Amino acid sequence: MAIKRWTVEAVNARLKAGRVGVQVLQVGNRLRLQATLPPKPGSGRDRPYQQQIALGIYANPDGLQEAETKARELGVLLARGSFSWIGSGLGGTCGD
């Protein structure tokens, strides 16, 4: 069994290979998810657009493992068409 590498590049390569549709970004020493998401309620937008979700976790091996898990969970919700900002637990700070 291959040992997983815990770098942003390695995590994103696995997500891309799995066609998840979500990326992990490192901003400073914290991690974010980036994906094309529906607009937040009250945003005034009417179509999905690329957004970032701040996870509030550090960019270390444990944080990258958690970010990959959250990215895969978000990817499943998006693929099913069942993502909603309300009750998602992902309503953190967004960067457009």
**For the segment 52-67, what is each residue's pLDDT rounded down to a tens digit?**
999 999 999 999 999 9
Please give the backbone phi and psi of residue 51, each rounded to the nearest 5 degrees, phi first: -135, 160
User: Other C-beta atoms within 10 Å of 80: how many?
Assistant: 8
Is the predicted pLDDT of residue 96 greater than 50, yes or no? Answer: no
The two structure tokens encoding residue 94: 């967004």
* Predicted pLDDT at 91: 53
Q: What's the predicted TM-score (pTM) here?
A: 0.86
Distance of alpha carbon 5 from alpha carbon 15, whole angstroms: 13
Distance of alpha carbon 80 from alpha carbon 32, whole angstroms: 22
